[in-house]
Structure 1
């Protein structure tokens, strides 16, 4: 470890330092809080499945029947992970994963006009957030949550094939905690106004980038389960698509 693991108070300070306006902070910080909430629900479900592995009935293949475990924290389904997940790390990563989006605002809303992101530069937000967090002294293990959450795992081949304005490299989760945040991020959008997305809504979105991208997404849903997105949309008084 070469950097520090930020506390919740320090995470808020990092957001306020990066935000060019109150409007930008409100939108992006709230999105990060929502993603962290969903990610923690998914992680809690994964851990519940892992803890029940020895007591679950067996399915037709002799494997533990995860469907026999009641919903955990509003999450249904999912398959058993290879290990317990670090829920605290998931929370920190979720709260910081999108901190690079402050740098890709075309209009920051400081004059009361709606916020607007730069379409051409938006794909850079993960890498920019990663580099910015490292410059602030945040540990690599946390900064990687920003770098490795875009889409459903942005590979070097994706970067080259789609001619994305990124250095050719793999921008994919390096561990289960990063993957959990990446999945959770797909259920909420920073659109104006912000919105929640169902599994079906993101499935349609992912299909625009090819069938392989869609299959990757659906495999992640099968692995992590389905959070109760309508309940979250109601809690935050946001639209659901």
Structure 2
């Protein structure tokens, strides 16, 4: 470990230091809080399944009552670090402040730069490293785009990124990547169901659609309608 694992207070400081306006902070920080909440629910469900693995019947996961609003899921190969998931979720989208075309200064509406938006993961990774955050945490920003952005996809699509794999390297990063798909920073922000994101993933190819459904099968289905009601945001079904 060459950097620090930030505290919750430090995470808030990192968001505020890069946010160009209070409106930008509200949008992006709230998104990160929501994703961290969903990711922690998924991680708790995974850990509950793992802890019961020795007493489950062969068909398994369905025998374990839903936990944290998440139903289904498959037994993971190990316990997940829920604290790491929380920290990673709270910081995963911090690079999006750097791809705002209009940042809310002088009261203008927030708008992202569509051409540069794909860079937000790498920009967040670099920002966190610059501020002394450990590589293990900074990678949550780098490795959460889509359902896993590969070197092959970067090259084939001519994306404005250095050719490389931008995919989760552990279960904690994958959990945050999955959770991120259930909420959008659109204006106004919105929640997405499994089917809503499936349609979005399908626009990038059948393999993306299948990969998303495989992840849903693995991690289970969080109660997105309940979260949409809690945050008073619209739900795309």
| Interval of TM-score (by shorter of Structure 1 and Structure 2) | over 0.9
**CA–CA separation in structure 2 for the residues paired with 1:224 and 1:161:** 29
**CA–CA separation in structure 2 for the residues paired with 1:76 and 1:8:** 28
**CA–CA separation in structure 2 for the residues paired with 1:58 and 1:170:** 35
**Structure 2 partner of 1:225:** 220
**Is residue 174 of structure 2 the alignment partner of residue 171 of structure 1?**
no
**Structure 2 partner of 1:22:** 22
Give the TM-score normalised by structure 2.
0.99
**Structure 2 partner of 1:62:** none
Q: Any conservation in 2 of the 1:196–1:233 contact (CA below 8 Å)?
A: yes
**Structure 2 partner of 1:44:** 44
**Structure 1 partner of 2:3:** 3
Unpaired runs of 5+ in structure 1? 60-64
**Structure 2 partner of 1:132:** 127
Alpha-carbon shift at residue 58 of structure 1 (Å): 2.0
**Structure 2 partner of 1:13:** 13
Q: Any conservation in 2 of the 1:114–1:192 contact (CA below 8 Å)?
A: no
Alpha-carbon shift at residue 113 of structure 1 (Å): 2.3
Give the aligned length. Answer: 236
Alpha-carbon shift at residue 47 of structure 1 (Å): 0.1
**CA–CA separation in structure 2 for the residues paired with 1:236 and 1:114:** 21
Unpaired runs of 5+ in structure 2? none
> C-alpha offsets along residues 118-171 of structure 1, whole Å, 9 cap, x if unaligned?
000000000000001000000000000000000000000110111111000000
**CA–CA separation in structure 2 for the residues paired with 1:159 and 1:184:** 22
- The structure 1 segments of at least 4 consecutive aligned residues displaced by more than 3 Å after TM superposition are none
Bigger mean CA deviation after superposition, 201-210 or 103-112: 103-112
Give the TM-score normalised by structure 1.
0.97
Match of 2:184 among 181, 185, 189: 189
Match of 1:122 among 117, 126, 141: 117
**CA–CA separation in structure 2 for the residues paired with 1:228 and 1:136:** 35
**CA–CA separation in structure 2 for the residues paired with 1:26 and 1:201:** 24
**CA–CA separation in structure 2 for the residues paired with 1:13 and 1:67:** 41
- Secondary structure in 2 aligned to 1:152? coil
**CA–CA separation in structure 1 for the residues paired with 2:58 and 2:34:** 35
**Structure 2 partner of 1:202:** 197
Alpha-carbon shift at residue 89 of structure 1 (Å): 0.2
**Structure 2 partner of 1:110:** 105
**CA–CA separation in structure 2 for the residues paired with 1:56 and 1:216:** 26
Q: Any conservation in 2 of the 1:23–1:115 contact (CA below 8 Å)?
A: yes
